[in-house]
Amino acid sequence: MPRLAANLTMMYAEYPFLDRFRAAASDGFTGVEFLFPYDFTAVDLKARLQDNGLTQALFNAPPGDWAAGERGIASLPGRESEFQRGMDQALEYAAQLGNRSVHVMAGLIRAGDDRAVHRDVYLKNLAFAARAAASAGITVVIEPINTRDIPGFFLNRQDDAQAVCAEVGASNLKVQFDCYHCQIVEGDIAVKLQRDMAGIGHIQIAGVPDRHEPDLGELNYPYLFDRIDALGYTGWIGCEYRPKAGTSAGLGWASSYLAKH
Query: Helix, strand or coil for residue 258?
Result: coil
Q: How far is CA 244 from the centre of its chain?
A: 21
CB 143 within 8 A of CB 174: no
Rounded Cα distance between 104 and 79, Å, is 14
Question: Largest Cα–Cα distance of the chain, in whole Å?
Answer: 54
Rounded Cα distance between 34 and 61, Å, is 11
Rounded Cα distance between 115 and 170, Å, is 22
- Cβ partners under 8 Å of residue 60, min gap 6: 35, 36, 90, 102, 103, 104, 105
What Å distances lie between residue 6 and 21, 22, 23, 192, 245, CA to CA?
9, 11, 10, 24, 16
Task: Give the closest residue to 213 by CA, choosing from 242, 248, 191.
Answer: 242
**Any idea which residues carry the catalytic annotation?**
143, 240
Query: Helix, strand or coil for residue 241?
Result: coil
Strands (E), the chain: 3-7, 31-33, 55-60, 101-103, 139-142, 173-178, 200-205, 236-239
